[in-house]
Chain A
Amino acid sequence: DSGVTQTPKHLITATGQRVTLRCSPRSGDLSVYWYQQSLDQGLQFLIQYYNGEERAKGNILERFSAQQFPDLHSELNLSSLELGDSALYFCASSALTGANTGELFFGEGSRLTVL
């Protein structure tokens, strides 16, 4: 158990809909990362938040957005869903201490299926 919690584990929805994926980082971790894993694109970095602020942006579509709340949990919002958005979405967190060596701790993912 990595200590990172993601909900829901599975989600099936229709094209054009909007969904929200939730992530609770490990206790004390200030950084949250979102990744998308699909068969054709592999593991793609989407976005990083640190203590409530956006820190880095990757290949995130404009239809997608994220935020990190004061209690440090994060949500990834996916809107106007398309078939190609079907994927496994991972959240990861990391510590921000002198002992940190860049390791990310991953949740078990949220599997999104768009029909």
Chain B
Amino acid sequence: AQSVTQLGSHVSVSEGALVLLRCNYSSSVPPYLFWYVQYPNQGLQLLLKYTTGATLVKGINGFEAEFKKSETSFHLTKPSAHMSDAAEYFCAVSHGAGGYNKLIFGAGTRLAVHP
């Protein structure tokens, strides 16, 4: 069975500081990994995804994540936080493409950015 663990339900950073949101996954097959962001009263928006190939993936709004198979991790980073980054972030895993496979989500990490 697949699962996702997000370490830290709440993370608070200063504007301009590094953002690091942690995600570890469990999967018996090569995973597809995703980070989604949810702004208040909105749906989930894809930030970035890893399927195959380059393990460092870049997404929207300056975010990036690195797939580390040996550590079963897919941590999300951004060099410099902006106030507009305040939102809830979800890591998710699926084990394939083709539209057949549901995403399993972590519990989410709420990011607060203070001046």
Residues in A lying within 8 Å of B, measured CB to CB: 2, 4, 29-31, 33, 35, 42-43, 45, 48, 50, 55-56, 58, 90, 92, 94-97, 100-109
Q: A-B pairs with CB below 8 Å: how many?
A: 71
Q: Which residue of A lies closest to B42 (CB)?
A: A108
Residues in B lying within 8 Å of A, measured CB to CB: 32, 34, 36, 41-46, 49, 51, 90, 94, 96-108
Q: Residues of B contacting A33 with CB < 8 Å?
A: 102-103
> Of the candidates A4, A31, A107, A109, which one forms a contact with B99 in the assembled complex, judged by CB atoms under 8 Å apart?
A31
> Of the candidates B90, B99, B103, B108, which one forms a contact with A96 in the assembled complex, judged by CB atoms under 8 Å apart?
B99
Contact sample, A vs B, 16 pairs, CB 8 Å cutoff? A2-B43, A29-B99, A31-B99, A35-B105, A42-B106, A43-B90, A43-B108, A55-B100, A56-B100, A100-B98, A100-B99, A102-B49, A103-B34, A105-B46, A106-B43, A108-B41
Q: Residues of A contacting B105 with CB < 8 Å?
A: 35, 42-43, 45
Contact B44 A101 (CB under 8 A): no
> Of the candidates A42, A94, A101, A106, which one forms a contact with B107 in the assembled complex, judged by CB atoms under 8 Å apart?
A42
Interface of B is mostly: loop
Q: Which residue of A lies closest to B107 (CB)?
A: A42
Contact B34 A102 (CB under 8 A): yes
Q: Which residue of A lies closest to B100 (CB)?
A: A55
CA distance A55 to B103 in the complex (A): 13
Q: Residues of B contacting A102 with CB < 8 Å?
A: 32, 34, 49, 51, 94, 96-99, 101, 103
14 more contacts with CB within 8 A, not counting A100-B99, A102-B32, A102-B98, are A2-B43, A4-B43, A48-B102, A50-B100, A96-B98, A101-B32, A101-B97, A102-B34, A103-B49, A106-B36, A106-B43, A106-B44, A106-B45, A108-B43
